[in-house]
Structure 1
Amino acid sequence: MPWLISCSAGYQKATNTSLATTFSNAVERFQRSYAFPGITASYVLPDGTSHSAAAGWADVENGQPMTSESRMLAASIGKTFVAATMVSLAQERAIDLDAPLSTWLGQNNWFQRLPNHRSLTIRQLLSHTSGLPNHVYLPAFVETVSERWPEPGNPFTPETLVRFVLDAEALFPPGEQWAYTDTGYILIGLVIEAITGRTYYEEVNDRFLEPLGLNATSASNKRRLSGLAAGYAAADNPFDFPVKTTDENGVMFWNPALEWTGGGLISTSRDLAKWGAAIFGGQGVSEEILNTMLQSVPIGDDMPGTYYGLGISIFRSGPLSPVFGHGGWIPGYSSSLRHYAESGITIAFQVNSDRISHQSLSEIELCLARVVISSGEKTDCVP
C-alpha cells in the first residue's frame, strides 16, 4: 500500500463548493500517490446535486489531460444494465425468472451441451448461481484470445464465447452455490435478443441510456470509441495485449466487443454515478424491479456479509453498509460504482489502468464516500 488513508467521517454541514473542492483534492491525491496514469470520479447527492473531478492523463505519451468527459471501458458495471434490462422485460411480459432457460435458448444446437442445461434458469444466470464455468478464465479462451486479438473485426461473437464452456463439467448443481461467471451474462444477452427480436444495445439504449440522459454511455463494440482515454494494462496481462490499449490515433489494438453483455459499455464516472443514483434512488426502475434485483444470495464463507443480487453486489457489513453497486475490470481499465443506502449518496470512479489492487480500490471507495457523507468537513485523506 503506497500510503495510509485516514478518514474520519462526520456529518457537518458544508457548502457544495467546499465539498466539491475537497472531493477534487482527494481525487488529485489518489492520482499522485498511487501513480495512476489518470482517474475520474463523480458523486450524486440525494437532492440530485453532483460533481465530477479528474486528474492525471488520458494519454500519457501524447500529453492529453484526463477530464471529467474522458470515457473509459466500464467493464462488469455493465452487468447492472443487463440485469435491469432483463428484469424489466420479465415484469412487462410476465416472464418467470425461474422458468427453464431452454424456453428461450433450447432451439440452439449447442444448448444441450451447456453444463446444467436441464435446469438452468434466468435468475440463476443473473445471480451467478448457475454452476457454469467462467469462459474468461479458461485456458482455451486465454490462449485463443492471445492468438486472435490482432485480427480485424470481432472474432468472438456471443455464440463463440459460449462454446468455450460446452461439454465442460459444472462447478456445482444450479442454485446450490455461487461462482461469478461472465458466461451466464452472455446467455442473458442472448435471451434478451430472443425475447425482443432486437439487439441488446438497442434495448438498453431505449430503456435506460436515452431516457436517463446517459449521453456519454454507449456500446463498447468497436475499436474506435470517441473520447476513449488510453488504458494501461499490466505487461504480463494474460491475453498478451499491448500495454497501452490504443494506437497513435486513439484506436484500440484489440476489439472490446469480445466482452458483450459481460459488461459491454464505455462510459464516464459522471454517467455511472447518475445511473447508480437513478436505479437505487427509484427513478431508473420501478420499486418492484429494484426489489427483485436486490433479492440476493451470499457469495461465500470467505466473504461474510457480501451478497449478490441480480447484477448487483451488496455489502451488508463493514463501514457505511449497506452498500450497493458493482466493480469493473478489463485490461487497461478499473471502475467502481457504489451507492450508500443510509446516506443516499452515489459515487463512481474510473482509472485508466488495471494495475490496482482490490485493497486499493476499497480504500478509495471508502475515503471518497466519507468525504461526501461528511460534506467535505471533518474528513482527511492523508498521503
Structure 2
Amino acid sequence: MQVLLDGFQQDYGFPGATAAIALPDGNVVSVASGHADREAGTPMTPETRMLAASIGKTFVAMTTLLLESDGVLARSDLVSDHLGDRSWFSRLPNHATMTVGDLMRHGAGLPKRVHLERFQAEMAARMYGGTDAIPSEDAIAFVVDAEPLFPAGEGWAYTDTGYLLLGFVIEEASGATYYDLVTDRFLGPLGLNATTPSDTPALPGLAVGYVAIDNPFGLPPRTMDEDGRLVWDPAMEWTGGGLVSTSRDLAAWGHALFGGEAMETPYLDRLLDSIPVSPDAPSIQYGAGVAVYAETPRGPVLGHGGWIPGYVSSLRHYSDHGVTVAFQINTDVGIADDSTDLVPALEAALADLAIELTDEAGEQ
C-alpha cells in the first residue's frame, strides 16, 4: 500500500494523501504519503484529517433509517408532513408530492443550487471574504419558485438541497440536532473518534487544502491561514456532507455500513433500495445515500465520493470480496474539472491490491 500510494503521489504530483483498506475481518490498514502542509514541510500521516464532503451523506441517510427503525418517521412520509409549516416550503418544487425517500435517493426533482450562477456568486463572496457560511434555510431559498426537474419519484438528479431538507426533517421529527444524533448513535458506538462535524473553520488536525489559482470561488491556492484555520466556513455543508474524517475512519465506517453492522436493526434492504441514475445506465443506481454499481470488473461496488474545495475523498466497498477501500487527497486541482484520471485510477489500484491480498489470505 505504501509503495502504491507513494508512486501515485510522485506520478501525479498532488500534495498528499491517505488511504485505508478494511479487510473482511474488520482490521483496517492505513498509510499516508506526501505533505499535509506543503509550505511547512509537514508530512501527511494516517491520522491527518480532511473534509469528507459528500461521503457525509451516507451518515445522513443512515440517521434517517435509524429514525425509521425507531418509529419516528418513515421513508414514505411526505416531506410536507414534517416541514409543511415553514414559510418557504410551499414554494419549493414538488413540495406537495416529494417523500422522505425521494430526498434520500435524489429523486425529488429539485434543482442543484450549486450550478446556479447567483448561488455561486454568493458562495464566492462569502468564501473570498471569509464570512460565515450561508445558513441552510437561505441556501434552500435559492431553489424556491423554480420549476421541478421532473415529477417527484420519477427521475434522478443529484442535489445537496434535498439533503439539507433531509437534515431539517431529521431534526423536526426527532427533536434533536443532526450532529448530536450522528455522534451519539454512530460515531461514538463505532469508535470513529477522528470523525467530527465540520461546522467551524478551526478543525484540529486538518491538512491544508489546495485549489487551482483560477478556482470559481476566488479562494487562495492555499485554503488555510497561518493559524491553521480554513479561510472559508465549511458549515455551509451541514447535511450535504458536513464531516471531517480520516481514511481509516471512512474505511471502518464502510465496513460496518455495508456489512450490516452500523446499527442493530436490519437495514441493508432499505439502504440499497435504489433507483437508476440514468435510463442509459440501468446498472448504476442510487440508494439511501449510497451509489450502487451492480456490474463492474470487480463485482458489485457500493460507496460514495466527496469533493469540496481543496479536498477529495472516496469510499468503495467490494461486496464479492468483503473489502472496503477509502482515500483522501488534500487538493482538488485537476479533479474538480475532470482533467485528470487520478481518482478512478487510484480507486482501481487500491481495489486490485485489496482484493489480491484478501484472495491470497483466503487461499492460505
> Residue by residue, what CA displacement relative to the aligned partner does 1:298-342 show, whole Å, maximum 9, x if unpaired?
110344521100100011112212000100000100000001000
1:260 to 226, 230, 238: 238
Q: CA 1:26–1:377 in structure 2 vs 1: closer, same or farther (change >3 Å)?
A: farther
Residue matched to 1:3:
none
Residue matched to 2:175:
197
Partner SS state of residue 375, structure 1: helix
Instruction: Kindly provide the amino acid, as one letter, of the partner of residue 346 in structure 1.
Output: T
Instruction: Kindly provide the amino acid, as one letter, of the partner of residue 366 in structure 1.
Output: A
Q: Does 1:173 align with 2:155?
A: no
1:362 to 344, 352, 359: 344
Q: Does 1:249 align with 2:230?
A: no
Partner SS state of residue 149, structure 1: helix
Distance of 1:377 and 1:82 partners within structure 2: 33
Residue matched to 1:295:
273
Aligned length in residues: 356
Partner SS state of residue 328, structure 1: strand
Distance of 1:219 and 1:254 partners within structure 2: 15
Distance of 2:318 and 2:265 partners within structure 1: 17
1:79 to 54, 57, 63: 57
Q: Does 1:209 align with 2:194?
A: no
Normalising by structure 2, report the TM-score: 0.95
Residue matched to 1:310:
288
> Residue by residue, what CA displacement relative to the aligned partner does 1:71-95 show, whole Å, maximum 9, x if unpaired?
0000000000000001110121152
Identity of aligned residues (%): 50
Does the CA contact (< 8 Å) of 2:293 and 2:302 recur in 1? Answer: yes
Distance of 2:3 and 2:350 partners within structure 1: 11
Q: Which moved more, 1:181-190 or 1:142-151?
A: 142-151
Does the CA contact (< 8 Å) of 2:133 and 2:235 recur in 1? Answer: no
2:36 to 31, 37, 58: 58
Does the CA contact (< 8 Å) of 1:371 and 1:377 recur in 2? Answer: no
Distance of 1:236 and 1:245 partners within structure 2: 13
Q: Pairwise mapping of residues 1-383 of structure 1 onto structure 2 (< 5 A)?
A: 23-93=1-71, 95-151=73-129, 154-286=132-264, 288-355=266-333, 356=335, 357=338, 359-375=341-357
Does the CA contact (< 8 Å) of 2:18 and 2:46 recur in 1? Answer: yes
Distance of 2:127 and 2:98 partners within structure 1: 31
Residue matched to 1:18:
none
Q: Which moved more, 1:286-295 or 1:116-125?
A: 286-295
Distance of 2:221 and 2:6 partners within structure 1: 24
Distance of 2:247 and 2:140 partners within structure 1: 30
Does the CA contact (< 8 Å) of 2:72 and 2:173 recur in 1? Answer: no
Structure 1 vs Structure 2 CA RMSD: 1.5
Q: Which moved more, 1:149-158 or 1:54-63?
A: 149-158
Partner SS state of residue 212, structure 1: coil
Distance of 2:143 and 2:276 partners within structure 1: 24
> Residue by residue, what CA displacement relative to the aligned partner does 1:216-269 show, whole Å, maximum 9, x if unpaired?
000001001000000111222221122211011211000000111000000000
Partner SS state of residue 159, structure 1: helix
Q: How far is 1:134 from its partner?
A: 1.1
Does the CA contact (< 8 Å) of 2:128 and 2:219 recur in 1? Answer: no
Gaps of at least 5 residues in structure 2 are none
Distance of 2:265 and 2:295 partners within structure 1: 23
Partner SS state of residue 314, structure 1: strand
Distance of 1:153 and 1:103 partners within structure 2: 34
Instruction: Kindly provide the amino acid, as one letter, of the partner of residue 266 in structure 2.
Output: E
Distance of 1:313 and 1:170 partners within structure 2: 23
Q: How far is 1:24 from its partner?
A: 1.4
Distance of 1:35 and 1:284 partners within structure 2: 36
